[in-house]
Structure 1
């Protein structure tokens, strides 16, 4: 929880804006809260609320949110060696609680401490802290959104951009991770207009391949948690 606290602070305005945005649509308050409880994915929730409010067909909503959250497969592949010994009863809630923030905190912990027998308790401490924070912020946003119009247009979501920068910069520790981040950044700008956020996935995959190539060229080292993290942003 202590390690996750800085990212919690950045997520607070993002969660409040989601609640306020949901309140401004025709969705019921229960639907807005249920999405935070059962989906728990900030960017996908924003997109889904907009599509639902616009009357989009459910296949479009499902496919769009799928592509937006596809980066979580990269996160999962990176963490798999560390959670493989755990039972499915432990891995299932770990998968549900996986977010950009929980992955960043967990991968930094593993980088500093290596494989730990009780890693899942550390992970749950960070992930549940973020989960509870997101639910509270959704409720606050719903409440405030009823009193303050156009709150979603205040630009408070910039806090998440700052948080992601804070996650990435400390991870640029060698040429491979730097090339990974630069490749992902440039390609994400070039592919920004690709449909259903497919440019995000394409940029991440290419950036990871670039990093893997440079790591292999520098001595056959396996790409670590920093590589996947840098690409996914």
Structure 2
């Protein structure tokens, strides 16, 4: 006779992973709420209809790129310029994807397509923590799905709220709510600052982002990210090589 408990375990584990992903992402969602509302309030003044704003959040689902699109629309930029600029800004996701490839290689294509669409800064931070803390990653894609669904639902809902409130409170953009996203990104980075390579990567990336802020099409972000990765990886390899070649301590006499 088959044990019913053994049959229900996979479903229970997937449910726990899904809920765990949503819970892990919740603190980051709190910071993203004002960001989504502000996008909704800015849409119509920038020349994007309420339906267009909601459609962009549903189909594009990329916060920083959506804000850039609004700015370019307001400035009357041509479509090729808008596409090229948002493409450059989103190149950072290649770094995220490269980190996740070894962990999702066992999944079917339909899962990887879904995960590619749901890849955001917040979900990557939450999922990276999950992969680092537990060796068993067979059902970790359900954790990813929970994080993605939480972020996606929050972003679309907050866009709708922003569109509605924009008509009631047209000066909401002056309330200073945009600070929340900066705090969110700081909170995403801080848990990983546990060694010298990570500190070096963050410091160099921050310095390069400031130094290249004037470059067109947000190219400075990519330069800053690549510089931080290069410095952090180089320092990590140097420290590993140093530790490998350092002489072993002399054993105490018996």
Fold-level similarity (TM above 0.5)? yes
3-state SS of 1:219 partner: helix
Residue 199 (structure 1) aligned with residue 224 (structure 2)? no
Corresponding position of 2:155: 134
1:47-92 residue CA offsets vs partner (Å, 9 max, x unmatched)? 1122123321110000010111110011000111101111111000
Q: CA deviation at 1:217?
A: 1.2
C-alpha contact (below 8 Å) 1:14/1:157 kept by paired residues: yes
Mapping of residues 29-40 of structure 1, within 5 Å: 29-40=50-61
Distance (whole Å) between structure 2 residues aligned to residue 114 and residue 196 of structure 1: 40
Corresponding position of 2:230: 209
Corresponding position of 1:60: 81
Distance (whole Å) between structure 1 residues aligned to residue 129 and residue 42 of structure 2: 33
Corresponding position of 2:202: 181
Give TM-score, length-normalised by structure 1: 0.92
Q: CA deviation at 1:145?
A: 0.3
3-state SS of 2:177 partner: coil
Distance (whole Å) between structure 2 residues aligned to residue 188 and residue 56 of structure 1: 24
C-alpha contact (below 8 Å) 1:24/1:145 kept by paired residues: no
3-state SS of 2:77 partner: coil
Unaligned runs of 5+ in 2: 1-21, 243-254
Unaligned runs of 5+ in 1: 222-233
Q: CA deviation at 1:207?
A: 1.0
Asked which structure has the greater CA Rg, the reply is: 2
* Count of residues in correspondence between the two structures: 221
Q: CA deviation at 1:25?
A: 2.8
